[in-house]
Amino acid sequence: MAAISTFQDALFRVRSLAELANIDPEIIEGLSHPKEIIMVNLPIRMDDGSQQYFSGYRCRYNSTLGPTKGGVRFHPNVNEDEIIALSLWMTIKCAVVDLPFGGAKGGITVNPKELSPMELERLSRAYIRVLADFIGPHRDIPAPDIYTNSRIMGWMMAEYDSIKRTHAPDVITGKPIELGGSLGRDDATGRGAYLCTLELIHKMGWNLTDMSIAVQGFGNGGYHVARLLQQAGCKIVAISDSQGGIYSEAGFDVESLWQCKQQSKRMKGVYCKGSVCEIVEYKTISNDELLILDVDILIPAALEGVITKHNADNIKAKAIIEIANGPILSEVDDIIHNKGIKVVPDVLANAGGVTVSYFEWVQNRSGQSWTLEDVQQKLKEKMITSFSAVWDLAEDEGRTLREAAYVKALRKISNAVEAHGTRDYFVHN
């Protein structure tokens, strides 16, 4: 039997939860089909004079609530199925946190680590050249994602401006501060997940300083959520990257691990004071082993589909905070729920990034520049309000947090569609 695709898995969850929420079948059908998809082949002149072709994608899934919004990832595994699934999740995510956006996603199938800086710039600009009429401040607004960053967003904005003969900082978010980016964007995804984690700990009546936490994935999101939770008093006992992980019951100093990784490109248990790092006692573990550690909170912050029917029964955490998109396959939702594990779903937990991207878009459109304190306070208010709404819905209707988040989003989208009129309106009026 063939494995279910990422999009099929995402769509199965949307359809089943839409039926649970008694959403009009016409609206469910509409959400089952992406609005627009473009696939391109990008010819790039390499530094050695040769020409290589790279596959690029962009999907605008649904624009019911506003212009579409979503990141651009550069990764060897990028494919059309993944991009469509991610754009569907973005549609739900924007609705969960009440942003005036629909969902989109883009990407290029490439290992950016194998490209020189100039090759990377050529590729980034070529991508925008073919998408210049597909995106726009009122249509579709890209942002950074896996292996893209503020510099790449700056190149993309500059290329768009050149093609359109205008200055449009609101066409892309996640830009350098000097080019119209927003303060607070760098740690927004991790900070949003951190705020959700604090809310969950509070709602469950747990003691913050008793919490042991394992983080799978030590990129931007994983690093910042681990750093902030440690500063709040939690114990970070395990962290991993794509090469593997480390574990120590005594916990780690997250900033030291990050500093060491930036220098050595490897995960090692260290404690750093200034530029001097000392090895501390730790155990080397695999990414699979990290997922089944006996910890209070598990934070999958890497890629999708890491918790499956093969390991779900062995998950021991009391709670899971999903920073990665789709880390738990829909086929094991019931297993996780029946084990009594609280899951803060990705469409809520990792919404900090798109929320601050929205703040950047608003600043660009209004010609304002907010302080870091303003951005972080607005993010805190948005995340706590959204978490509380999902929590209350779950409590009132006897649902899981994932079910409640999807129901909240689907009802918002449904109300917007029904304002135009569905079959019931046209038949009965």
Q: Which residues are catalytic?
A: 105
User: Helix 150-164 crosses helix 117-131 at what angle (to 10 degrees)?
Assistant: 50
Place of tokens 């607070």: 184
Judging by DSSP bridges, how do beta strands 68-75 and 140-144 pair with one another? Answer: parallel
Q: How far apart are CA 90 and CA 96, in angstroms?
A: 10
Q: b/e for 388-408, b at 16 or more Cβ within 10 A?
A: ebbbebbeeeebbbbbbbbbb
**Rounded to whole angstroms, what are the CA distances from 338 to 12, 116, 330, 354, 414?**
20, 49, 14, 31, 30
Query: Is there a contact between 67 and 138 (Cβ–Cβ < 8 Å)?
Result: yes
Are 24 and 32 in contact by the 8 Å Cβ rule? The answer is: no
Enumerate the β-bridge partners of residue 321.
344
CA-nearest of 201, 191, 184, 185 to 344 is: 201
CA 217/CA 239 separation, integer angstroms: 7
> Which pairs count as long-range contacts for 277-281, CB under 8 Å and 24+ apart, including other chains?
280/248, 280/250, 280/252, 281/248, 281/250
HEC states along 229-240?
HHHHCCEEEEEE
Distance CA 266, CA 260 (A): 7
**Complete DSSP assignment for 209-266:** GG-EEEEE--SHHHHHHHHHHHHHT-EEEEEEETTEEEE-TT---HHHHHHHHHHHSS
DSSP string, 59-78: EEEE-TTSSEEEEEEEETT-
Q: How far is CA 397 from the centre of its chain?
A: 27
Tokens of 381: 């208010």
Residues 6+ apart with CB under 8 A from 412: 65, 95, 98
* CA–CA dist 263, 271 (Å, integer): 14
